[in-house]
Amino acid sequence: MKVVLGVSGGIAAYKACELLRLFTESGHEVRVVPTREALKFVGAPTWAALSGNPVSAEVWDDVHEVPHVRIGKSADLVVVAPATADVLAKAAHGLAGDLLTNTLLTATCPVVFAPAMHTEMWQHPATRANVATLRSRGAVVIDPASGRLTGADTGPGRLPDPDEIFQVCLRVARGRPLDLAGRKVVVSAGGTREAIDPVRYIGNRSSGLQGYALARTAAARGAEVTLVAANVSLPDPAGAAVIRVESAAELREAVLSASADADVVVMAAAVADFRPAARHDTKIKKTDGEPEAIHLVKNPDILAELGDRRREARSGPPTAPGTPSELAELVRGDTPGIGAGQEKAAGHGAGPQVIVGFAAETHDVLANGQAKLARKGCDLLVVNQVGEGLAFGTAGNAATVLVAGGEPVEVPFGPKEDLADTVWDLVATRLS
Ligand code: CTP
């Protein structure tokens, strides 16, 4: 595929070198089009050497080749990373003062922006309006990650991990629909840890890979994603807001609060069913003598609670957007895009929440799964057979998705993103 990598003038320009390598090393032809300001951060020789193509920020070089039209028209994908507030504004308003903005005006292929800037600039009404304009025209704008920015400040504004931007680009280029645009999605991932003392815990083998694949694919399909991650050490999926938790109690609080107005909740986390009744404040020492037995108590079942909450909401008065921000969202009628910053055209009150559970079973997989689907009151249950190298920590997964009131869907062994896409296909059908 022919890729144009637009680079604008932010400190994150150095991370675009990594993105460039990901494209070239997987066989894509990349033309880098930096802005003049980007060249102050990373020079043209670096882009030329890494891409194997000439590099210019100006429309005045190689004029006989009419680059200001040819580069955009011949591209299969344009990705601007980092995209500054300035380049977003220029693109939204159709300015064409350099080669990159000319390219954006002439490109007819999918366009992805990966903004990076200080939090204040990202949250400024001017930038919000420009992002909404670009999304309304079909551009994919990935919400920036939260974290440490150039100075001592932290907040939303960091460029997502280059590999995560790369994955979004591949999906956009493959033409996956933005069928979750405007939907609010909560995904839990990883495995909880229940403290015994300050250094020891009861945990499980969940790596978080499947939950992260669900979050990544939902964001790439346009959803506003909150990812509640229990003890996962993976890069944040592009466009997802990540809340980190440790115990089942913390996970419960984060999931219940984030999902209050969500359209979809997916409980992919492996939640401890039991926790020690008491947590020792100090380390249990060998010298304390014979160890005490660890007395366990039951944790609340979060998935079942979500089902109960939905049932209660259904039998209560009909929900309608009532808060000032809900009403403002409806009035604004903002447009589809990727990530946590996009506003919904209709609040969650527009339809019932879709709830998805996971089940890890070692035996009687389907029978146990069907019983669990009914017991927990969810719409879909992804049933994994576990044990002997299956599911935990592996890149791939095979599963059966049980559907309340429908036929089970078998997902053959493949990347965890494929299983995630099957789940979102089924969710999208239920939402519509
Ligand atoms: N789950 C939850 N809260 C818990 C335990 C599990 O929300 N305290 C969720 C998991 O995130 C998963 C689903 O419930 O989506 C199934 O979890 P599982 O441990 O397989 O089910 P259990 O109810 O524990 O049933 P069993 O012990 O019979 O396997």
Q: How many Cβ atoms from other residues are within 10 Å of residue 77's Cβ?
A: 21
> What is the Cα–Cα distance from 279 to 197, expressed in whole angstroms?
5
pLDDT score of 150 more than 80: no
> What is the Cα–Cα distance from 98 to 405, expressed in whole angstroms?
56
pLDDT digits (tens, 9 = 90+) for 104-143: 999 999 999 999 999 999 999 999 999 999 998 989 999 9
Q: Where are the domains of the chain?
A: 2-173, 184-431
Same fold: 2-173 with 184-431 = yes
Choosing from 273, 297, 386, 401 the residue with most ligand 1 atoms within 8 A of its CB, the one to mutate for a pocket test is: 273
Please tell me the distance between residue 373's alpha carbon and the centre of ligand 1 in angstroms. Answer: 11
Q: Residue written as tokens 């939260």?
A: 146
Name the fold adopted by 184-431: Rossmann fold (3.40.50)
- Within 297-344, where are the H helices? 302-315, 324-332
Give catalytic status of residue 204 as yes or no. Answer: yes
Question: What does the CA dihedral 173, 177, 183, 187 come to, rounded to 10 degrees?
Answer: -60
Largest CA distance in the chain: 86
- For residue 390, what pLDDT is reported? 58
Looking at ligand 1, which residue's alpha carbon is closest to its atom 20?
A: 359
pLDDT digits (tens, 9 = 90+) for 347-389: 344 568 999 999 988 888 889 999 999 999 999 999 988 776 5
Q: How many Cβ atoms from other residues are within 10 Å of residue 151's Cβ?
A: 7
Task: Look at 336 and 247; give whichever has higher pLDDT.
Answer: 247
Q: How many Cβ atoms from other residues are within 10 Å of residue 205's Cβ?
A: 11
pLDDT band at 318 (very low <50, low <70, confident <90, very high): very low
Burial string for 2-15 (b: 16+ CB within 10 Å, else e) reads ebbbbbbbbebbeb
**CB 333, CB 342: distance < 8 Å:** no
> What is the Cα–Cα distance from 264 to 185, expressed in whole angstroms?
5
Catalytic residue among 102, 204, 299, 384: 204
Residue 305 Cβ contacting ligand 1 at under 6 Å:
no
pLDDT digits (tens, 9 = 90+) for 160-186: 999 999 999 998 988 877 889 889 999
Tokens of 121: 């600039």
Residue 251 Cβ contacting ligand 1 at under 6 Å:
no
Full DSSP string of 361-378: ESSSHHHHHHHHHHHHT-
Tokens of 431: 């939402």
Please tell me the distance between residue 382's alpha carbon and the centre of ligand 1 in angstroms. Answer: 12
Choosing from 192, 228, 247, 267 the residue with most ligand 1 atoms within 8 A of its CB, the one to mutate for a pocket test is: 267
Which class would CATH give 2-173?
A: alpha beta
Q: How many Cβ atoms from other residues are within 10 Å of residue 45's Cβ?
A: 9
Question: Could you tell me which residues are beta bridge partners of residue 357?
Answer: 267, 381
| Ligand 1 atom at minimum distance from 381 CA | 15
> What is the Cα–Cα distance from 224 to 342, expressed in whole angstroms?
7
Choosing from 247, 376, 379, 384 the residue with most ligand 1 atoms within 8 A of its CB, the one to mutate for a pocket test is: 376
> What is the Cα–Cα distance from 64 to 51, expressed in whole angstroms?
22
**Picking from 20-24, 80-84, 347-351, which range would have the lowest pLDDT averaged per residue?**
347-351
Residue 357 Cβ contacting ligand 1 at under 6 Å:
yes
